[in-house]
Homo-oligomer: A and B are copies of this chain.
Amino acid sequence: MGHSPTDTPPPVSSLALRRVGIDTYRENVAYLHRDCAIYRAEGFQALSKVEVRANGGHILATLNVVDDHSIVGCDELGLSEDAFARLQVPQGHPATVQQAEPPASMAALGRKLAGERLGRDDFHAIVSDIAQGHYSKIELTAFVVATHRDELDREEVCFLSEAMVATGRRLNWREPLVVDKHCIGGIPGNRTSMLVIPIVAAHGLLCPKTSSRAITSPAGTADTMEVLAQVELGIDRLQAIVHAHRGCLAWGGTAELSPADDVLISVERPLNIDSPGQMVASILSKKVAAGSTHLVLDIPVGPTAKVRTMVQAQRLRRLFEFVARFMGLTLDTVITDGRQPIGNGIGPVLEARDVMQVLWQDPRAPQDLRAKALQLAGRMIECDPRVRGGEGLGIARTLLDSGQALGRMLAIIDAQGSNSFDYRNPALGPLSFEVQAPAGGVVTGIDNLQVARIARLAGAPKIRSAGVDLLRKLGDPVRAGDVLYRVHSVYPADRAFARAACAQSSGYSVGEPGEIPAVSVEF
């Protein structure tokens, strides 16, 4: 080599740090004025990646060029809310900016885009860069799309899951048995966790349940639980509640269990992408990070569920089992009937009503929700080595029917901070309309996707009292003009959107009893 090793390092120049009050939603953005000498000298390109250093800290950010002095001046470096919060340096502090070497993992991303298989170190590098906010939205999307469908083999899913755990906080409950349940989603109204947790906690197993908010659905468990109680608990409070009551129903976001997953969701949501590998990694990494040792997994199968056939369900089950074994998690999979929504309500308030009806043994309580919750609770109770196989369901039923589960739920609600809610007279969205059967017969199909879409358009989950209230379920006889379901909104725009969707397709089929699809049990 013909050059001296004592070459000067790349120069850096100082600007005054400025917080730019734009929420760029999990992307670090840096703003430089087009006339800034450094912008011109360094040959930055729009959307190129820059490294910002101040007070010993540094972040990577995507560069946006600004033409307005009121946003940043020529001697200022602006940072979006995300970037400013991450750098943790006060406004006005001197900061330097320079072209960033691409994040270390970019070569690995390139190999994945080219269709190659990645190794353990590659996934650790990518996930660590993602968790630290080093990826732009474009790079994140590329990773999500390049790893979706069948692009990840099962070892790669293990490495991804492991890396997601490694980059976040990990809870340690200091008990040998920590049980959890999870449903892969896609079934509206399926709020079994809010029944299962009080039952299993009442049995005495430790079940610190952390849930997500809805991503693309009309309600997540955290959204529905929030109708009843506070769910955004600090980690210390969460631990205190769990130690006192053997369970909780909290939002998982504050626990920072898998920060990379939260970032990935920010692009999966707008694309409505949910692939097997990503799903398994996302679910299992959060469970392991939450300190669970045993997991009961619910995979609903049905023509409009996430999993359409038993063959698919078995394939997904094997992937979950392979990765769970790698992660040291004991997994019990339950394949369930996903042909229609579970319970009657779809939307946070409506679902909270259903849950409380079951716990209070209200005669209007949806029996399918009750039965499914008992089934899953029974399987969880059988994680207890003192319980014999097949006894769990009976134990669960006793705990529910005796009111012990209700008592435990009320204690958990009280501990988390009760929000007043009267399940007998829930405040539903006042702008409502009904959808009626066009002809007589029996209900032969309920499209999970369409019913969920209608509930979302009606305003759920953001509008807690919005959603869909199902008055008929699969197999129920109907006459022409009978009300199939009622849609609740708060805002006229939401009602109009929901109505237009219902006009397109109600989501219901009515016909002969023989037309009801069977639950496939082919293996």
Contacts and interface: CB of A to CB of B under 8 A. Distances in A.
Contact of A25 (B2, B46, B497): B46
A436 interface: yes
Contacts of A146: 145
A118 interface: no
A66 B115 contact: no
A165 to B, nearest CB: 26
A496 interface: yes
Interface stretch (A132-140, A222-230, A324-332, A512-520): A132-140
Contact of A113 (B23, B273, B495): B273
A65 B3 contact: no
A9 B81 CA distance: 36
A113 B2 contact: no
Contacts of A81: 67
Interface in A19-55: 20-25, 31, 34, 41-43, 45-48
A478 to B, nearest CB: 13
Given A7-B495, A10-B492, A491-B41, A1 B435 contact: yes
B139 A138 contact: no
B138 A493 contact: no
A23 to B, nearest CB: 4
Interface stretch (A342-350, A360-368, A498-506): A498-506
Contacts of A2: 433-436, 483
Contacts of A139: 270-271
A228 to B, nearest CB: 22
A496 B9 contact: yes
Interface residues of A, number: 74
Contacts of A145: 113, 141-142, 145-146
A420 interface: no
Contacts of A267: 138
Q: Which of A31, A141, A433, A496 counts the most B-chain CB atoms under 10 A from its CB?
A: A141
Contacts of A68: 20-22
How many chain copies?
A: 2
A385 interface: no
Contacts of A425: none
A239 interface: no
Interface in A101-159: 110, 113-115, 136-139, 141-142, 144-146, 148-149
B25 A47 contact: yes
A335 interface: no
Contacts of A42: 491, 493
Nearest to A502: B1
A410 interface: no
Contacts of A23: 34, 46, 64-67
A474 interface: no
B496 A462 contact: no
Interface string A185-218: 0000000000000000000000000000000000
Contacts of A48: 270
A438 B1 CA distance: 7
23 contacts: A1-B502, A1-B503, A2-B434, A2-B483, A3-B434, A3-B435, A7-B496, A7-B499, A8-B492, A20-B68, A21-B71, A22-B67, A23-B67, A25-B46, A43-B463, A47-B270, A71-B71, A98-B493, A137-B138, A138-B270, A139-B270, A141-B145, A145-B146
Given A22-B31, A41-B491, 16 more contacts: A1-B506, A2-B436, A3-B499, A7-B495, A7-B499, A9-B496, A10-B493, A10-B497, A11-B492, A22-B64, A22-B66, A23-B66, A48-B270, A139-B271, A142-B144, A142-B271
Interface of A: 1-3, 7-11, 20-25, 31, 34, 41-43, 45-48, 64-68, 70-71, 81, 98-99, 110, 113-115, 136-139, 141-142, 144-146, 148-149, 266-267, 270-273, 433-436, 438, 459, 462-463, 483, 491-497, 499, 502-503, 506
